[in-house]
Amino acid sequence: MTDQTKYVYDLNEGDASLKSLLGGKGANLAEMNRIGVPVPDAFTVTTQACVAAMNNNGEWPAGLREQVEAALDRLEERTGKVLGSTENPLLVSIRSGAVFSMPGMMDTVLNLGISDDTVGAVAALADGNERFAWDCYRRFIQMYGEVVEGVDQYVFEDALTEAKEAKGVANDTDLNAEDLKALTKKFKELADEALGGHWTTDPREQLMRAINAVFLSWNNPRAEVYRKANGISRDLGTAVNVQQMVFGNRGETSATGVCFSRNPSTGAKELYGEFLTNAQGEDVVAGIRTPRNLAEMEDVLPEAFHELLATMDKLELHNKDLQDMEFTIEDRKLYMLQTRNGKRTAAAAVKSAVDMVDEGLITKEEALLRINPSDLDALLHPAIDPNFKATAIVKGLPASPGAAVGALSFNADDAAERGGKGESVILVRYETTPDDIHGVMVSQGVLTAHGGMTSHAAVVARGMGITCVAGAPGIKIDPKGETVTIGDKTYGTGDTLTLNGTTGEVFEGAAPLVPPSINEDFEQVGAWADEYRRLGVRANAENFEDASKARELGAEGIGLARTEHMFMAADRLPSVRKMILATNEEERAAALEEILPLQQADFEEIFSAMKGLPVTVRLLDPPLHEFLPNIVDQSLLVQKLELTGGSEEDLARERTLLAQVKSLHEQNPMLGTRGCRLAMLYPSIPEMQARAIIRAALAVQEREGETAGIEIMVPLVVIKKELEVQRDIVVKAVEDEFEKAGKRLDYTVGTMIEIPRAALTANEIAEAADFFSFGTNDLTQTGIGISRDDAEAGFLGHYVDAEVMSKNPFESLDQSGVGQLVEMGVEKGRSTKPGLKTGVCGEHGGDPESVEFFHRAGLDYVSCSPFRVPIARLAAARAALREQ
């Protein structure tokens, strides 16, 4: 059966609605032609043809070659030119055109159709301009040789350099017709030599090979990297545009250039672009000659310049977005070769969207759907100056955005000391642990050799708004010698590095930074988002600074205040260890009495920052051994005291501590004695915490006239009885505090759903819960059955690269798997308690795709790190708008 699929479309057969078939470039060319913009005639080979070839080991689908031949015949008929004609030759360009813009990632061939037979006619049709004709010819040999036949780029570049040196000139434009004729001959000889004489001169065969080369470039390494970085599926394929050549290299009345309808760096509505006279398009982007500012074109080609300005306005008005355009002027006549929605900085994305709403060009809804939520993230942190040019010395994972410059520090104590004195430091660690928190929080940035996007370093840094590059490959850290070796160079304490947490790049020395871009436009987008979103947005925070920042960025409360971070502070760790090492309940109670006022002070700060808004306090979650020394370190300390004759008192104390560490050691502590299990064994801990919470709330109410809404959350519940017991402990302590104070406050007691069994039995657990909060970090670990830290350092990266998994499930929720557990938990919980409040407090609460899922699942709120609150607000609004 013959394949009847239409694989080729003439220019007048398409429009913007066929983008998935014609690619962005082909669809936009057809649309420009449809609205009367001057466009050279063309035809487009569809993305469908590319995909069919990819899926058949590169073999073209039946009928494609014949369709290309027929389209070429029609193009020749419309233009009155013939490919290969010695009288009126047609020259064409062959360009890629993906559905989503991938600038510079795939291949292009220009001037196809020029040859020994046609070069004379090309010159004659250009009023005898032989230099122009031979310039076109040498360009074709070079581009076709590199792109289609695989000749190494340096082969031609070296010959061109030699020709300019022999002539004593610096620019290609200084070579005359005879120079270029000789250079073309040299190029052909080099190509024949490289290909063993297999260079075809048949222009139709050259066209077929060029189309195939563009198909193949869809899977070249740079395209693969770009697609992964931008979430573009490799299954889309690329279209190929075959277009009549127009020439910007016909002399000083011809030109080529690139322009934007607004400044893509700032978003301002101002002239932005570059051009070159007597050049072809590749010259502008290749940097062979220094382009001129577009404003200068008014002096050189005034009529074409003003026509270009009018066309730029027309295309932006038609497409209702910032346009990135390519143009050629041939002998003073303007042609548009491309328009597309322009790539822009985060600041430009926000400003251009707000301005276009003010101008009546788009609606608020369109603006919200246009701005990528991740763009807001970049605006909340310092960034490396866009004009800074340098090669990164290593590239890790972009774990926490922004840019940081600082002198290196190799341990948390040193970082804390130097950072506390105002020095800018970069903390360099193999990986961070909770013990490093005091150093992390005063560092400008964190660089780790190990760990992934959701490692401890990443999570803590994001929560604090600190730049982090994690899992930098191949770096060797010597913590004792206080050095890090990157490549063949070693850096020590005091050496300066720059981290780009948005890209994962690390640079030597101090790069120039630009400040965060929180302005009226940023705030306007947030206000619009709040109008449309249904989901509430809270923040994960456990101190006054983070809570205040979260509120400033639009958080409607705290969805997760982790009390274990408070326990780790240096001034209370001794009391915490007393509690752990207590041999009876009296000793433990005494230690808890020391901790209680410290906890109360922490809660007072948070409740003060969040007064009038809800605060969910999670009771102690991690296993107790995390508050004790590492078992290996403690063993070594005991051995050292034994060998060096330490005092009996010191030895006895450290041996006791080692015994306690060993007694608490677990093979898999994340699934061991933690959360409510720990509270079941030591009920005095949740009792103390409940008292501290209520005393703090009452104190803030008394002092400031208003306090936060109190929500007490029991972690790691998997059985209803666990929650019933813990709820009883909490309620008794709370009611006792109310009775002593003679005052009451509203409060609720709920639980985290973070183990699959809890989701499966949510209808039972809901009987004892006032609210659910889904801890999607642990729910992902236990639902998929992988350790986050181990997997990210091991197989998970390979899984994502090999597309076994589309995304890291700790960064973006596994919607079809773990997502079902969330949906089930919501549905079952509300089957018992209609209207049960449900939220999410994992890192997924700040991921735009996950937020959209949580909206569809019917949750009431998401909670994320403070600096991701604006992202979640915008993502929630977009979810609501898409649902409409």
Residues with a known catalytic role: 456, 841
Residue type, 262: R
Is 88 within 8 Å of 80 (Cβ atoms)?
yes
Exposed/middle/buried for residue 301 (C-beta within 10 Å: 0-12, 13-18, 19+): buried
Is 423 exposed, middle or buried (CB count within 10 Å of its CB: 0-12, 13-18, 19+)? middle
Beta carbons of 148 and 209 less than 8 angstroms apart: yes
Element holding 687 (H helix, E strand): helix 684-704
Q: Are 398 and 469 in contact (CB under 8 A)?
A: yes
Q: Hunting for tokens 């250079």 — which residue is that?
A: 183
Phi-psi region of 675 (alpha: psi -120 to 50; beta: other; left: phi over 0): left
Yes or no: say if 519 and 513 are a contact pair by the CB < 8 Å rule: no
Cα dihedral across residues 357, 360, 363, 364: positive or negative: positive
Cα torsion through 353, 354, 355, 356, rounded to 10: 50
Q: How far separated are the first and last CA of the chain, in Å rounded? A: 44
Structure tokens at 826: 């919501």
* E strand map for 18-177: 42-45, 92-98, 108-112
Q: Are strands 467-470 and 445-448 parallel, antiparallel or unpaired?
A: parallel
3-state secondary structure of 520: helix
**Amino acid residing at 561:** A
Q: Backbone phi, then psi, for 204, in 5-degree steps?
A: -70, -40
CB-count exposure of residue 200 (10 Å: 0-12, 13-18, 19+) = middle
Task: Name which of 471, 390, 461, 477 is nearest 428 in CA terms.
Answer: 477
φ, ψ of residue 557 in degrees (nearest 5):
145, -175
* Sheet arrangement for strand 489-492: 476-478, 483-486, 489-492
The two counts, helices (H) then strands (E), for the chain are 36, 31
| Residues written for the chain | 884
DSSP string covering 392-419: -SEE-EEEE-SEEEEEEE-SHHHHHHHH
Residue 212's CB: how many other CB atoms inside 10 A?
A: 17
- Residue type for position 743: K
Furthest-apart CA pair in the chain: how many Å? 105
Q: How far apart are CA 317 and CA 328, in angstroms?
A: 21
Angstrom distance (rounded) from CA 378 to CA 387 = 16
CA dist list (Å): 496 to 239, 248, 391, 412, 595: 46, 47, 15, 17, 40
For the CA atoms of 442, 448, 450, 454, what is the dihedral angle to 10 degrees? 50
Q: Tell which residue, 186, 191, 227, 190, has the closest CA to residue 206.
A: 191
Question: For helices 64-79 and 47-54, what crossing angle results, to 10°?
Answer: 150
Which pair of tokens denotes residue 293? 């500012």
Looking from the CA of 418 toward its CB, the CA atoms found within 13 Å total: 20
The helix (H) or strand (E) run that includes residue 617 is strand 614-618
CA distances for 821 relative to 225, 553, 559, 722, angstroms: 33, 30, 20, 20
Closest Cα to residue 434, out of 624, 186, 639?
Answer: 624
Q: What is the DSSP letter of 802?
A: T
